Chains A and B, each alone.
Chain A
Amino acid sequence: MNFRRLFHKKKSKDIARDRLKILLISDRLNCSPETMELIKKEIAQVLSRYIQIDPGRMEVEVSKRKINVFW
Chain B
Amino acid sequence: MSEVIVITSGKGGVGKTTTTANIGTGLAYLGKKVVLIDTDIGLRNLDVVMGLENRIVYNLVDVVEGNCRVKQALIRDKRYPDLYLLPCAQTRDKSAVNPEQMKKLTMQLRDQFDYILLDCPAGIEQGFQNAIAGADRALVVTTPEVSAIRDADRILGLLHAYEIGRADLIINRLRDDMIKRGDMMSAADVVDILSADMIGCVYDDEAVVVSTNHGEPLVLGDSLAGRAYMNICHRILGEEVPFIDLEKQRSVWFRFTGLFQKSKGGQNV
Which residues of chain A have a CB within 8 Å of any CB of chain B? 11-14, 16-17, 19-21, 23-24, 27-28, 63-64
Contacts and interface: CB of A to CB of B under 8 A. Distances in A.
Given A13-B185, A21-B193, A23-B146, 14 more contacts: A11-B183, A12-B182, A12-B183, A13-B186, A16-B145, A17-B185, A17-B189, A19-B146, A20-B146, A20-B149, A20-B193, A24-B194, A27-B154, A28-B153
Nearest to B157: A28
B189 A13 contact: yes
Say whether chain B's binding surface is mostly helix, strand, loop, or mixed: helix
A27 B150 contact: yes
A14 B181 CA distance: 11
Contacts of A24: 149-150, 153, 193-194
A16 B157 contact: no
B195 interface: yes
B113 to A, nearest CB: 35
A14 B182 contact: yes
Contact of B153 (A12, A17, A19, A27): A27
Contacts, number: 39
A12 B146 CA distance: 11
A14 B186 CA distance: 11
B193 A13 contact: no
Contacts of A12: 182-183
A19 B182 CA distance: 15
A7 B189 CA distance: 23
Contacts of B133: none
Interface string B121-151: 0000000000000000000000001100110
A35 B182 CA distance: 31
Contacts of B184: 13
Contacts of A64: 195
A28 B154 CA distance: 8
Contacts of A19: 146
Nearest to B150: A23
B216 to A, nearest CB: 34
Contacts of B186: 13
A30 B154 CA distance: 11
Interface in B192-247: 193-195
A16 B185 contact: yes
Interface in B65-79: none
A19 B186 CA distance: 15
A16 B146 contact: yes
A23 B112 CA distance: 44
B182 A13 contact: yes
Counting chain A CB atoms within 10 Å of each CB, which of B145, B182, B184, B194 scores highest?
A: B182
Contacts of B145: 16
Contacts of B181: 11
A5 to B, nearest CB: 13
B184 to A, nearest CB: 6
Contacts of A23: 146, 150
A28 B194 CA distance: 11
A64 B156 CA distance: 12
